[in-house]
Structure 1
Amino acid sequence: MSRTQRRAPARGVEWEFDRVSLSRELSRSAVTRLLVERAEHGGWELDRVRITADGTRRVVLRRKIIRQVRPTFLL
């Protein structure tokens, strides 16, 4: 249940965002483990958490987009 989008660059940094909705049935420790797993293996960091009136957690994760410059070969 995630959706990835990109936001316009701000001061030379471009971010990729991933929105995740988590059920209210998940415990706080389970949500923490899930987010830590995504951070360690996907390079994501926490941007925002919103808990709705029905208890659903809406989490926004972000990570930097690193662009590589193609090398120019001189012959």
Structure 2
Amino acid sequence: MAITSVGPVQYQVEKVRLSRDLSRGAVRKLLTDHAEYGGWELTRLRRYRDGTREVWIRRKIIKVASTL
């Protein structure tokens, strides 16, 4: 997990390595669930010759100012 900044917005970034045994539909379902329930968005997907996939996903870091 890393934190990057794009202008005034900060993102939490994760790199996930997926096995070659996962089908295309399973990868799509996994990424859809991450997006829908975790607030993640796909940044990059790389597929290697051996069939493994490397996926970069990110989500905004929302900092809440104290009202006390």
TM-score clears 0.5:
yes
By how many angstroms is 1:10 displaced?
2.5
- Structural mapping, 1:1-75, within 5 Å: 4-7=1-4, 9-72=5-68
Deviations 1:8-60 (A, max 9, x none): x2310101001111111110001000111111111000000000121100000
SS of match in other structure, 1:21: strand
Structure 2 gap segments, 5+ residues each: none
CA distance in 2, matches of 1:24, 1:16: 26
Structure 1 gap segments, 5+ residues each: none
RMSD: 1.0
Alignment size in residue pairs:
68
Query: Greater share of strand residues, 1 or 2?
Result: 2
CA distance in 2, matches of 1:56, 1:10: 29
State TM-score, norm by structure 2: 0.92
Q: Percent identity?
A: 46
